[in-house]
Every structure is written in structure tokens, then in C-alpha cells.
């Protein structure tokens, strides 16, 4: 055993090198072993009696689901990496939650749907192509490492889109809107890239 491996700083550097060599560390990112809390505005308090989740826009059957209905949807588990545009990456997060496809299916999307605008509390939004929203490893998470998501990390429900910068992983998600065009969300209106692929360093709009 390497003596230097006993020190956390060296452990972080060792893992960072390992992820870089494996092609999992996007350019300009550094690995964190912690889990920073990052968001705009304050942490909303969850009240299950008032909470609801909508599916609206280009759908045959608009939905309004209460917390009980949401929890009854098919459960999925995923392990994935998380890349924030402020240059930290957190690897091998274990998530449990609800599949985005099962939420979509409830509402029967119309064939002209090409994009999804994801709505969080307090007017936060993020846009993504339908194909990114339904991609493998994308989910609405309720749990992280076996524990219910804390309020500061987006509990009770947040989107996780591991293959895009983490501003797309909307915390305190309250609904989705199906669209036939790409409508910029909160950060996308404020200079960030419309798509946000960390492996192409799509940080800012041109």
C-alpha cells in the first residue's frame, strides 16, 4: 500500500488521475469526493399535501400527479457521474427514483414533440431535447446512496441527466412541458450553452 494514499488529498488526486485515464473526466473538470450544494435562490420546503407534478404541453392526456401517484410509478436505479459547469465532477453516484419514460408515457406525448422544458420550484427551468430526456441513465431521483434526497440536494424529487452539465439536473422538480421547439431555460437565457455536453465543453453560448 502506498503511504501517500492515506491522505485524503492524495486519494482525491489518485482517483482524478484514474478517471482521466479512463476517459471519464471531461476537460477542465476536477474530481471532488465531497458533494457541494449549489443552486440559485433558497431551499424550498416540501409539503406532501400541497405538492403536485404536471405533464403538459404537446400531450394527449395532461397530468397532475400528487406525491402518492408519483411514488407508485415504476422504480429505477442508476449509477452515474455528475459534472457541474463550475468545474467539479462527482463520480459513481448511486441514484434511485422514477424513470422519465414512465412519466412521459402516462401523458401520451404527441409525435411532434422534440424538446422538454423541465420546471422546478421558484420558476427555475432547464431545456433539453426529448432524446436526452429519455436517454439511458436519466431519471427523476428520490434517493442517493440509499437515502432519501435531502431538501438541499433537491428532495423530494430531482431530475438527473448525467451526460449533460448539472444545471440540467433540475432540483425540486414540479413538472415537465413538452414542446416542438427548443426554449431556453433559466441558465440558458443567462449565457450558458443551449445543450451543455461536458465532453464537448459546451459551457457557454457562442
Ligand X SMILES: Nc1nc2c(c(=O)[nH]1)N[C@H]1C(S)=C(S)[C@@H](COP(=O)(O)O)O[C@H]1N2
Binding site for ligand X (CB under 6 A): 35-40, 84, 120, 124, 153-154, 166-167, 169-172
With CB under 5 A as the contact rule, which of the stretches 52-60, 79-87, 101-109, 130-138 interacts with Mo ion?
79-87
Q: Is residue 166 within 8 Å of 154, Cβ to Cβ?
A: no
Q: Which is nearer to ligand X, 109 or 154 (CB)?
A: 154
Burial group, residue 154, by CB count within 10 angstroms (0-12, 13-18, 19+): buried
Q: Which is nearer to ligand X, 115 or 168 (CB)?
A: 168
Alpha carbon separation from 98 to 34, 157, 158, 172 (Å, rounded) = 25, 9, 10, 14
Q: Which of 192, 152, 188 is nearest to 172 (CA)?
A: 152
Q: Which is nearer to ligand X, 12 or 58 (CB)?
A: 12
Question: Alpha helices of 8-145 — where are they, by DSSP H?
Answer: 8-21, 67-71, 100-107, 130-133
Minimum CB separation of residue 45 from Mo ion in Å reads 22
Q: Which is nearer to Mo ion, 57 or 120 (CB)?
A: 120
In the bound complex, which residue of the shown chain has the CB atom lying closest to Mo ion? 84
Minimum CB separation of residue 169 from Mo ion in Å reads 8
Euclidean distance between CA atoms 120 and 55, whole angstroms: 13
**Per rule CB under 5 A, is residue 139 in the interface with Mo ion?**
no
Minimum CB separation of residue 125 from ligand X in Å reads 9
Minimum CB separation of residue 136 from ligand X in Å reads 20
Q: Which is nearer to ligand X, 15 or 90 (CB)?
A: 90
Burial group, residue 182, by CB count within 10 angstroms (0-12, 13-18, 19+): middle
Minimum CB separation of residue 164 from ligand X in Å reads 11
Euclidean distance between CA atoms 128 and 44, whole angstroms: 24
**Residues at the site binding Mo ion, with contacts judged by CB under 5 A:** 84, 166-167
Amino acid at each position: 500500500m502506498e503511504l501517500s494514499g492515506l491522505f485524503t488529498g492524495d486519494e482525491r488526486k489518485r482517483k482524478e488521475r484514474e478517471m482521466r485515464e479512463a476517459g471519464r473526466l471531461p476537460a477542465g473538470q476536477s474530481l471532488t469526493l465531497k458533494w457541494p450544494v449549489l443552486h440559485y435562490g433558497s431551499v424550498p420546503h416540501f409539503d406532501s399535501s400541497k405538492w403536485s407534478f404536471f405533464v403538459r404541453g404537446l400531450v394527449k392526456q395532461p397530468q397532475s400527479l400528487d406525491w402518492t401517484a408519483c411514488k407508485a410509478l415504476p422504480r429505477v436505479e442508476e449509477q452515474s457521474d455528475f459534472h457541474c459547469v463550475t468545474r467539479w465532477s462527482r463520480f459513481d453516484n448511486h441514484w434511485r427514483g422514477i424513470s422519465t419514460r414512465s412519466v412521459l408515457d402516462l401523458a401520451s406525448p404527441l409525435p411532434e414533440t422534440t424538446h422538454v422544458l423541465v420546471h422546478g420550484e421558484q420558476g427555475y427551468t432547464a431545456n433539453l431535447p426529448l432524446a436526452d430526456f429519455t436517454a439511458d441513465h436519466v431519471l427523476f431521483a428520490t434517493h442517493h446512496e440509499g437515502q432519501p434526497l435531502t431538501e438541499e440536494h433537491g428532495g423530494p424529487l430531482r431530475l438527473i441527466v448525467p451526460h449533460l452539465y448539472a444545471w440540467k439536473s433540475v432540483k425540486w422538480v414540479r413538472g415537465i412541458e413538452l414542446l416542438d421547439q427548443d426554449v431556453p431555460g433559466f441558465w440558458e437565457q443567462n449565457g450558458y450553452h443551449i445543450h451543455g455536453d461536458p465532453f464537448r465543453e459546451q459551457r457557454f453560448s457562442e
